[in-house]
Amino acid sequence: MSQILVVDDELSMRELLEIFFRKEGHDVFNASTGTAAVRMLHEKEYDLVITDLRMPGTHGLVVLEQCRELYPETPVIVMTAYASTDTAIQAMKMGAYDYFTKPFKLEGVKAVIEKALERRALVQENQKLRAELSGRDRRGGLIGRSRPMLDVFSLIRRVARTRTNVLILGKSGTGKELVARAIHDESDRRNKPFLVINCAAIPENLLESELFGHRKGTFTGATTDREGMFRAAEGGTLLLDEIGDMPQGMQVKLLRVLQERKIKTVGDAREQAVNVRVIAATNCDLEAEVRAGRFREDLYYRLNVISIDLPPLRERPTDIPLLAHHFLRKYATDFGKAIKDIQPEVVQRLLRHPFSGNVRELENIMERAVALEEGSEITMASLPPALRETDAAVHPSEIGLVLPEQGVDLDGLVQDVESRLITQALERTGGRKKEAARLLGITFRSLRYRLEKLELPD
């Protein structure tokens, strides 16, 4: 069963196509304006989009452009009621799958739709096959179409083919290990081991043995030889997770390994050459740790040849619906449930959530929702109680302003706060003004007026 989005400002046309496609066994979603269609595209992916070209406000070419940007493989069919086909031809040049003029015969439309959906199914099958052959499990952390994540993907591709050390920065739950795995998978080391060691989880007296190995009898409990992570990762990649928690004594030894490309097994005087790419990751501010004297400056610069800074989920809200639907499909399959969609109010609630736990928190929320949901869609009732109860916008009193003893320049302060919040909203939404207006609780027109008033970049 395919999901089709029909976009037309004429109610009769939407109803006609909905009745026809439902009779053919498809799920149909309607939008009466181009603006509504664009919003729906940002919330989920459809198998096919059919849009009128001439509509008040946002016209069909914008819908086509947005769909092509968000979902390049989704076929878009355009409709026009005008004898001139110039605009339709322009749409074809922009990537539309096909077009037809009104009035049209439904049987003719049916043939075009079937071919478009067959092509879509073939593309999906090929993508699934390639993913299975590559053996990669993205688990959602590297899914995204927001500008911050596209920048991360670009950097991954550029650094993957080098031997350069990489430092991955980001809060817990943003997907640092997944980035390291992606770098490994894109490199010529992809057929060699990818190993991870958590520097914060292993006691200092055992960390050296874990990294470099030990000889039998070196210390109490060393009943056999152990090769260590560097030897086990030979030819591949070793991720040193939570590098900021590495004891200073081990920092000195790691620095020498990175400089000399040699390790010394505990209990053995000989050095052994190793061919391992080192990637480090941390959720702490390493520069601050260097200034405080808790992390060696020379090791920091040795590790930080190239840094990849993963944005928190709240700074890429356009990825939230995409990730939510990914986790829905994942856990619906795992739990054997026929849940196909997420109700719009649930998506809106997720978009307003701060996600201090980032992608991992979103995954946990969706796993719980799929486990509890008994219908065919994720509903508000399946969300955690705390998430349902915090649906209201933040009250101004919660921002934390306090009147100083000496007083304030109220007009100047209000203008400064307004300017800062608008700037942050635009940064968080990647410059998408309609989404920024939603975050600020104002209309799009009001946002445009304030940008002009405050002389902010439009």
pLDDT tens digits, residue range 223-256? 677 788 998 999 999 999 999 999 988 999 999 9
Domain 403-453, CATH homologous superfamily name and number:
Homeodomain-like (1.10.10.60)
Is pLDDT above 80 for 84?
A: no
Cα 260 → chain centroid: 37
Let me know the angle formed at the C-alpha of 425 by 419 and 429, rounded to the nearest 5 degrees: 150
Question: Mean of the pLDDT values across residues 54-60?
Answer: 84
pLDDT of residue 392: 45
Residue scoring higher pLDDT (176 or 399): 176
Fold for domain 314-389?
Helicase, Ruva Protein; domain 3 (1.10.8)
Residue pointed to by tokens 């269609």: 37
- Band the pLDDT of 443: cuts 50, 70, 90: confident
Write the CA distances from 78 to 87, 110, 123, 131, integer angstroms: 10, 14, 21, 31
The single-letter code of the amino acid at 182 is A
Domain 3-133, CATH homologous superfamily name and number:
Response regulator (3.40.50.2300)
**Token pair belonging to 60:** 């069909």
The single-letter code of the amino acid at 394 is V
Cis peptide before 103 (omega within 30 of 0): yes
Radius of gyration of the chain (CA): 27
pLDDT of residue 222: 62
Distance between CA 63 and CA 76 in Å, rounded? 9
Matching fold, domains 314-389 and 403-453: no
**Token pair belonging to 391:** 């649906």
CB 242 within 8 A of CB 295: no
Question: Mean of the pLDDT values across residues 89-102?
Answer: 83
The single-letter code of the amino acid at 92 is M
pLDDT of residue 92: 84
Q: Which residues contact 449 (CB under 8 A, 6 or more apart)?
A: none
When mean pLDDT is compared across 66-75, 91-100, 128-137, 407-416, the lowest value belongs to 128-137
Question: Mean of the pLDDT values across residues 302-320?
Answer: 91
3-state secondary structure at position 407: coil
When mean pLDDT is compared across 187-191, 201-205, 336-340, the lowest value belongs to 201-205
Q: What is the mean pLDDT of the chain?
A: 84
Residue scoring higher pLDDT (419 or 379): 379
If you classify domain 147-311 with CATH, what class do you get?
A: alpha beta
pLDDT of residue 169: 95
Is pLDDT above 90 for 102?
A: no
Q: How far apart are the first and last CA of the chain?
A: 42
pLDDT of residue 292: 93
Residue scoring higher pLDDT (215 or 310): 310
Q: Which residues contact 209 (CB under 8 A, 6 or more apart)?
A: 222, 226, 228, 266
- DSSP, res 139: T
Phi then psi for 342, rounded to 5 degrees? -125, 130
Domain boundaries along the sequence of the chain: 3-133, 147-311, 314-389, 403-453
pLDDT of residue 238: 95
Is pLDDT above 60 for 141?
A: no
The secondary element (H helix, E strand) that includes residue 157 is helix 147-160
For the stretch 166-202, pLDDT in tens is 999 999 999 999 999 999 998 999 999 999 999 988 8
Instruction: Count CB neighbours of 319 within 10 A.
Output: 22
Question: Mean of the pLDDT values across residues 270-286?
Answer: 92
Residue pointed to by tokens 């941390």: 282
- Band the pLDDT of 88: cuts 50, 70, 90: confident
- Band the pLDDT of 132: cuts 50, 70, 90: very low
What is the value of pTM for the model shown? 0.57
pLDDT of residue 85: 62
Question: Mean of the pLDDT values across residues 57-76?
Answer: 87
Question: Mean of the pLDDT values across residues 442-453?
Answer: 80
Provide the Cα torsion 350, 353, 356, 359; round to 10°.
10
